Amino acid sequence: MIKELDSVVLKHDIGKYGLKKGDIGAVVHCYADGNAFEVEFLTAEGRTLAVLTLTLDDIRLMGSKEILHVREIIQQSA
């Protein structure tokens, strides 16, 4: 069960925000139905890239045996 402040992993790319499958976000709000979540994605310096409403089709909990990875963010032009 996903709850507020959990680290979650993106299941697919969201090109509009430069997010890639495997990027890690923090749950900042859980909706009452338990099927939708506000997730914040940050740079290493703490700059917010996006706060998105996502569902269980979009995210999963981060596993205890997974390792973090660093990549440069490349945002799509509007």
Is the pLDDT score of 38 beyond 60? Answer: yes
DSSP states of 5-61: T-EEEESS-BGGGTB-TT-EEEEEEE-TTSSEEEEEEE-TTS-EEEEEEEETTTEEE
In the chain, domain spans: 7-61
Please state the rounded mean pLDDT for residues 46-66: 96
Instruction: State pTM to two decimals.
Output: 0.90
With a pLDDT cut of 90, the percent of the chain lying above it is 90
